Structure formats: C-alpha cells, structure tokens
C-alpha cells in the first residue's frame, strides 16, 4: 500500500464527509430510518458513505473496500482491505450530543495499520501518518491542507489511580462490574470511536467494551491507538483483537495503555 497517497486521501475524505454530516446535523430536522438490526441510519450516514466510497474506489480500485452502509453486499475475500464507518455514533448524532465520528482505516493481515478518526462536532481529528505514528491535528480543518500536528502518546498509567473511559450509550451493569475491579481516579463517558482516541492522547488509560461492536466501529480508533503506543486485546483471553472476520462482528475487548494491570473477565 502506498501510505504517502493513502493518508492524505483518508484525511481529506474524512473532513469532506464531516462537512456533509454537519450540514445535516445543524438542519432543523432530518429523517431517521431503522436498519434490519434495529440500529438507526440517517441521510448523513448515507451521504458520507457515498462520498468516502467514491473517493477510495477511485484512488485504490484494486483494494477491497468494506463500509458499514454497504456491508450486506460485501464478501471479504482478502486479508488486506479498507474499512469505513461513515458516521460512527448515529445515536449520538440523532440526539445531537456531538460524540460522533467519521472512521476510515486500512487493515493488513488482521491488523489495522493506518486510520483517521474525525469528530466534526467536537473539532477533533486523530490520524496516523505514513510511518504509523499517531497525531492529533489542531483545527480549523481544511480538506486541502493539513494544519498543525501534535504527536500523540499514551499515558504512563498509575494502577492505583486509573483514568477510565467507557461508552456513553452502552454503559451497562456488566461494564460497571468489570470497572469495579480497578482502582479509578476518574471515570468518564464518551461516544463512538473517540474512546480509543482518549486513550491514545493520554486522557484515559483504559477503555473496556463489554458489548457488541463491528469492525468498522473500531478499526480506525484501534489504528490510532496502536500508533500512539497503546493496544487492544480480546476481553476473554487478552489476545490481540484482529480483523477480517466473516461477519465483521468483534468480541468484547479492552483498549489500554501498556502498564495497566488488566483484570480477568
């Protein structure tokens, strides 16, 4: 893969998609439909999906592309692919809470090597460069020209005073029971793939997910966290979380900064 070509494209497409999403988000009203799995989908999801898909297919026609909105028609026949969630956190979007993101990632042999996570309503953008190092870009964001880039690195955690982040929309009793095994200094909630990015910036040490997610929900944030020195492992046996599964469904997982003493499920 030509990362010198891919990274600027992923960034510009994420920003352009974010602009379309905000146009709809800031409108007086927008339609919300329900997909077959009972999850919501809006015209913003569909518009962002169309824009990103067209851009990636034009530049990399020979690379498999998986997107959430088109996943029913995809057949994954390669261990190398691009994977997109054009609007991660649709529930946050519908409720106008701002914690939604555009996620674009590149996966090779099960590992998300490069990614961009853009939160247009939060004015935050996280990206891996061509070498795999992660940065937070300081806005304002222009699709045609990168701004100031701030290198990201995970925290050095204190296991007697951990900073924990968990899902805003899916913080259930199973999550609370697991979090109770740790000594927490602070615990916050966030939506979408922003949770990975908060661990990547050092704003949090630990993000456990005891609930359903799909590969397009996590790949970009996972890539950003890897590029900042963090890791993501399965909840059950602490082996690496991998990609390219037949149904795109993830097991439960833990994203963390090395040094966190992980507890058993």
Percent of the chain with pLDDT over 70: 91
3-state secondary structure of 36: coil
- pLDDT at residue 201 in the model: 98
Q: Has 158 been labeled as part of a binding site?
A: no
Per-residue pLDDT tens digits for 39-84 = 555 788 889 999 999 999 999 999 999 998 776 655 666 789 999 9
Q: Has 67 been labeled as part of a binding site?
A: no
Q: Has 90 been labeled as part of a binding site?
A: yes
Domains and CATH numbers, the chain: 3-151 (3.30.540.10), 162-256 (3.40.190.80)
CA neighbor of 212 nearest in space, from 257, 256, 178, 167:
167
* Mean pLDDT across 235-264: 95
Q: What's the predicted TM-score (pTM) here? A: 0.93
157-162: long-range pairs with CB below 8 Å, 24+: 157/205, 157/206, 157/256, 157/257, 157/259, 157/260, 158/185, 159/183, 159/259, 159/260, 159/261, 161/185, 162/205, 162/206, 162/260
Q: Has 217 been labeled as part of a binding site?
A: yes
Residue 175 pLDDT greater than 70, yes or no: yes
Instruction: Give the side-chain half-sphere CA count within 13 A for 181.
Output: 12
Q: Has 88 been labeled as part of a binding site?
A: yes
């Amino acid at each position: 893969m030509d990362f010198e070509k891919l990274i600027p494209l992923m960034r510009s497409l994420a920003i352009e998609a974010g602009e379309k999403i905000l146009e709809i988000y800031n409108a007086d009203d927008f339609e919300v439909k329900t997909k077959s799995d009972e999850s919501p989908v809006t015209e913003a999801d569909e518009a962002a999906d169309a824009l990103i898909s067209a851009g990636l297919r034009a530049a990399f026609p020979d690379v498999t592309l998986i997107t959430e909105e088109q996943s029913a028609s995809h057949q994954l026949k390669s261990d190398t692919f691009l994977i997109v969630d054009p609007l991660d956190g649709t529930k946050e979007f519908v409720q106008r809470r701002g914690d939604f993101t555009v996620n674009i990632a590149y996966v090779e042999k099960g590992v998300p090597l490069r990614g961009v996570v853009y939160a247009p309503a939060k004015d935050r953008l996280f990206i891996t460069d061509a070498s795999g190092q992660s940065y937070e870009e300081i806005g304002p964001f222009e699709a045609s020209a990168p701004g100031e880039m701030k290198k990201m690195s995970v925290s050095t955690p204190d296991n007697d005073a951990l900073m924990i982040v968990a899902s805003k929309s899916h913080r259930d009793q199973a999550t609370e029971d697991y979090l109770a095994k740790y000594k927490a200094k602070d615990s916050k909630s966030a939506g979408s793939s922003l949770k990975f990015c908060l661990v990547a910036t050092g704003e949090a040490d630990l993000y456990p997910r005891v609930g359903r997610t799909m590969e397009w929900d996590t790949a970009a944030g996972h890539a950003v966290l890897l590029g900042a020195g963090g890791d993501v492992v399965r909840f059950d046996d602490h082996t690496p979380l991998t990609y390219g599964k037949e149904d795109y469904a993830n097991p439960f997982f833990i994203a963390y900064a090395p040094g966190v003493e992980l507890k058993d499920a």
